[in-house]
Structure 1
Amino acid sequence: MGREFVEIFDEWADSYDESVGGHDPEYADVFKHYDGILESVAMRAESPVVEFGTGTGNLLKKLLERNLEAVGVEPNDAMRKAASAKFPEARIVDGDFLSYEPGVDPRTFVSTYAFHHLTDEEKARAVKRYAEELPAGGKVVFADTVFATEQAKRERIRYEEDRGFTNVAEDLKREYYTTVPVMRELFEQAGFTVVFTQLNDFVWLIDASKQEGGDAR
């Protein structure tokens, strides 16, 4: 994950919570049911938990409220400071999906609204590493924008453009939003069983469990 991307979030740290609250009409559909999406991820987590893309700590809060041992991994310094200010007792470290040292042996990896920053090749590398580090039955629980098919992605981009939401359309073109079949293949190849549940027009819950003897192939 390039530093130029990480730095994009420097100015967003102060307004991130307002953005995900649905106050921006252009992104309201992206963050629809935001609190429920976080709950869906947190309720499936088992300690110890490593969260990628902690941001300002909204999912971390849900994990801590469930008395789970959780470590946040966040590459942006401003976001780490914002989360640490809200949760001074929490451990939040510098790192990302592919480079991290959480200091615990994880039972669950979680993330929301972040995995699309990796290319499909990088996603596959990350999931393979998670399979190597998790015990049998360990889990990866991510919620992120994913599309049923490439055609569905193209249609969504056209829809956003037609209603004048050019920022959303450009985001969908620029970032590495992938499809359910691609995600299913990379998780299954790494030795996971995986279930996909659509949570809003953009976001899918990816609930993957490492199979017994399911080391990455």
Structure 2
Amino acid sequence: MYYTYSDKEHPALEDISFDLAPGERVALVGPSGAGKSTIVNLLLRFWDYREGVIYLGGHELKRYSPEDLRRLLGVVTQHTHLFNATIRENLLLARPGASEEELIAAARRARIHDFIQTLPRGYDTCVGEGGFKLSGGQRQRLAIARVLLKNAPILVLDEATAGLDPVTEREVMDAVYSLMQGRTTLVITHRLVGLEVMDEILVLDGGRVVERGRHEDLLRHNGLYRRLWELQHQVLAG
């Protein structure tokens, strides 16, 4: 697949090709500007590709309506959108007909139920516009609970832990692992945390795949992935 922005001369993506089989977990990593966000926008059909093709379930992506695509994909991004409504109402946006038992089960798996129980009005607590009454980690866990409740077959995690402190990031990643179970998962991140569970990691740089493999193999390769991993661990250690 290739993609070039209308105001640019050089392609943002060049010769990108990978498979994501049912139940597999693939991560796209790389420095800022590597092309990760472009792939997400194409997959979610915010933009349409002009060269190459993307298949989903054996059919070209462009054959799906935006509504059908949203039903198939569960997406958690860095910027979780929460409405100025209750926790219950924000969760039920994913599946309005969900039962109370299903709602609580999703919150438990997302590691947010115990916190909700400490609130004076529990699930009927209003989160404020954009969820400003919650911390960053609580907003992300609520977003994960919402996707769990939706129960879509394909999961897209787009910088889901970016901007969180290391302790909160690890807590959110624990919830993310629960979210991945049994689901086809695409992870897009510049943070090389928790990628040991990935079936394949694609390292992007300058719009191209420069390395691919599992976490352990890429560390042994001593290439860009290894350099990014060492740099992040130096920052955390400092």
User: Structure 2 length as normaliser, TM-score?
Assistant: 0.30
Higher relative contact order (CA 8 A, sep 6+): 2
Look at both structures and tell me which one has the larger radius of gyration over its CA atoms.
Answer: 2
User: Structure 1 length as normaliser, TM-score?
Assistant: 0.32
